[in-house]
Structure 1
């Protein structure tokens, strides 16, 4: 099967570089014991993922460039698809701790995906203390759009210990096209749609790294529009040139605490999350001895989840993502006032942006956060890099236990890519009564990412004490 990449898919594919990987990651920690027996091993994971590939057909396709750049790249079936190439195993020196796990995830996340194969990898990480194991997934941002294509983690998790059965599609790869086939197909497309020639000419003379948005608008065009609406971002150590290597850290808090503040104050839970992060960022800046006044802010791109009207399994799944620019009042010393400022900002700004649709998510049960974070990164990329300081994605997850191959999921952390000149990216997912923060960061610019992670529960405790 051959399908042309959408303009935004093509933009993400071309943004990939050795120093700037743009894959969506997810780290899942599981309890891998039951009666003293190991539940999930490498072969079980391979069989499980292989059985779910019919739900994510793009995961068996690779990208081929069109000769002479006469059109956008295309998705084609990988004639030599080998699932064992994509699913790998690693182990920590037993008993491995969380810091060692985070270091491994950072190293794995620093490696670009192989562009000659389908753009994804899954790692089974064994050796964690307490009978735990972990699964780290990485999927290229071009691969997942949350609508026509979901993230693999969305369909691998189950709501019961026994994996659900999926009908075997008996997949066989289609014939892989030759360069001549791709060239003739592109010429035929140009003849049928002459307007596409304008796009081809523009791409031939433009720097691919400057293309943003589904209409192929240039970076300068978007920058001008955003600058006139919101102005440039404040100066911050969060904006700097980045290297290839990464660091990763995490934090976990109780969802009930957010609900208590939400009910007492009357704001949204997302407002509470942003207030907690604002307090954590304030503490981190103070640890760096950065001078602040009460008016000091950091500007965040915060893709917000909207909700459809079709319930699934007793809940309503997000049906759209709306990107917002929000000023986080890091200079404000009062946690209550920080929350108040944020609540007003989200209420005022929530009606000003167009939404990114997610029709598929509404109709397909599963573990939605992985696909939602992918959509959020896409939404955030519509802003020029000098107009914000940090990307914060927040995706609600199921509040009942989920399983992978019979092993119960304990925690899940998003590992969002760094956009250009962004020293860190923060992803949050709620799951089974917990709120999990994944902090992906540049290795050189954010050697103190652990300080920011440790500040999250401290900020939650401060806000809770001030509000209740």
Structure 2
């Protein structure tokens, strides 16, 4: 049977009503001259998922939970349920779209159906439309399924599942129990993992994660047992969400990198370092607007998933990501010094591992529109780590720097929507595409009522870096 592995199953066991474990994407399109409507969108989605059976499969629990759940074909698959038509009051601006995204991303996916949804959102100003997708972390593993946004943009870059076709009959309870028991005989270690339910399942899952999530064990060894510093982002996460989009120019980050680094230090500072320095300045300003103490030693620890695959054809799996832990120097008053401290910390992290991060050019050259899938893999890595080790997850995935389209409709903006972790009121994802850098900020609705202040602070922090004196490297 197509059984969920320990890591995939953990994303089901650890999910709570206030902590849905799905990842989303937002794509804004300029319609073609011929137009583009909901019916055509449904047809496009149906065509894209035809060769990918996971999008027509649902989760089924094994009786008595004696083994991990299995994927079974949904005999009553209804594409109209998953592909939905929505609208915001025309002419809808960014704030209207953000409010819509915050509402739909807060709702857990239906476990009795395939674990994904797509929304065709009309009413945007200028006649534009948006496509909002959400898919469970248990589903998009890079092997059996990639993110729907990637399938929509470049379906030819994703291998088709030759077994996809007519739905297969779901196994009976007797068959599922028999298969689970047979697997336990052939692999006795599964008995230990499968016994019990509830908290015992969660506890065992946590131990399985360390062994299953690729680079997690070595990362924990590097970080040690130091807990993350106290943080205003630590909060009890409720069921509602806020979402804010920020658009910046990629050329600004390049200019900052060349201005604030000289000589041999140029190669030691990456665009990703400039991004992290920008977020550091934004978090510093945001904390100050709240009246929180910011001293010279104030830091926030972020977990940054690092891509370690290139365009050589390696599959985008969990092993494509490694975790870097960086203490952002919130207390540092000088913008250029923040940048160099972050660059130095990133170099230390990378040099202490047996793998090396891949540059933006190589990542952007991966076949297909890979950023949505890489964001999901980054979220999976963050979910597999102990939350006490970091305050915030930041995923930054470089995308193609040429315009993309779907059925003649030009993709003009793309934003990731990252999930929140237990006790973490904020997550940040960003994607560079066609000369722009697009931030997606997800926050707990109650504790992050000023999420828009943090969003504006990103623009201010970027301007601060642009005008910062060169200083001494």
Alignment TM-score > 0.5, same fold: yes
Q: What does residue 99 of structure 1 align with?
A: 95
Alpha-carbon distance between aligned partners in 1 of 2:21 and 2:222, rounded to the nearest angstrom:
25
Alpha-carbon distance between aligned partners in 1 of 2:354 and 2:198, rounded to the nearest angstrom:
29
Q: What does residue 43 of structure 2 align with?
A: 47
SS of equivalent residue, structure 1 residue 263: helix
Q: What does residue 186 of structure 1 align with?
A: 180
Following superposition, the deviation at residue 10 of structure 1 comes to 0.2
Following superposition, the deviation at residue 69 of structure 1 comes to 1.1
SS of equivalent residue, structure 1 residue 211: helix
Q: What does residue 323 of structure 1 align with?
A: 323
Q: What does residue 143 of structure 1 align with?
A: 139
Alpha-carbon distance between aligned partners in 1 of 2:25 and 2:251, rounded to the nearest angstrom:
24
Distance 1:159 1:430, change over 3 A: farther
Following superposition, the deviation at residue 335 of structure 1 comes to 0.5
Distance 1:308 1:466, change over 3 A: same
Which of the numbers 271, 274, 288 marks the counterpart of 2:273?
271
Q: Note the aligned Cα RMSD (angstroms).
A: 3.2
Alpha-carbon distance between aligned partners in 1 of 2:320 and 2:335, rounded to the nearest angstrom:
30
Distance 1:213 1:80, change over 3 A: farther
Q: What does residue 337 of structure 1 align with?
A: 337
Following superposition, the deviation at residue 230 of structure 1 comes to 5.0
Mean Cα deviation higher: 402-411 or 85-94: 402-411
Q: What does residue 132 of structure 1 align with?
A: 128
Matched pairs, number: 454
Q: What does residue 462 of structure 2 align with?
A: 460
Which of the numbers 367, 370, 374 marks the counterpart of 1:365?
367
More strand by share: 1
Q: TM-score, normalised by structure 1?
A: 0.89
Following superposition, the deviation at residue 228 of structure 1 comes to 7.0
Unaligned runs of 5+ in 2: none
Q: What does residue 70 of structure 1 align with?
A: 66
Deviations 1:87-136 (A, max 9, x none): 00100111111101100100000100000010000001100011111011
Q: What does residue 421 of structure 2 align with?
A: 419
Alpha-carbon distance between aligned partners in 1 of 2:444 and 2:399, rounded to the nearest angstrom:
27
Alignment of 1:350-389 (within 5 A): 350-353=350-353, 365-389=367-391
Q: TM-score, normalised by structure 2?
A: 0.89
Deviations 1:221-248 (A, max 9, x none): 98x9679715111111101110011000
Alpha-carbon distance between aligned partners in 1 of 2:41 and 2:92, rounded to the nearest angstrom:
21
Distance 1:116 1:311, change over 3 A: closer
Alignment of 1:79-228 (within 5 A): 79-158=75-154, 171-201=165-195, 206-208=200-202, 211-212=205-206, 214-215=208-209
Deviations 1:126-162 (A, max 9, x none): 00011111011000011112244211111111499xx
Following superposition, the deviation at residue 177 of structure 1 comes to 1.2
Following superposition, the deviation at residue 271 of structure 1 comes to 0.5
On the 8 A contact 2:364/2:399 being kept in 1, the answer is no
Alpha-carbon distance between aligned partners in 2 of 1:195 and 1:406, rounded to the nearest angstrom:
52
Q: What does residue 404 of structure 1 align with?
A: 406
Alpha-carbon distance between aligned partners in 2 of 1:147 and 1:112, rounded to the nearest angstrom:
23
Unaligned runs of 5+ in 1: none
On the 8 A contact 2:364/2:400 being kept in 1, the answer is no
Alpha-carbon distance between aligned partners in 2 of 1:256 and 1:377, rounded to the nearest angstrom:
27
Following superposition, the deviation at residue 261 of structure 1 comes to 2.3
On the 8 A contact 2:309/2:320 being kept in 1, the answer is yes
Distance 1:274 1:55, change over 3 A: farther
Deviations 1:386-438 (A, max 9, x none): 22111100111111111123211111110000011110100010000000000
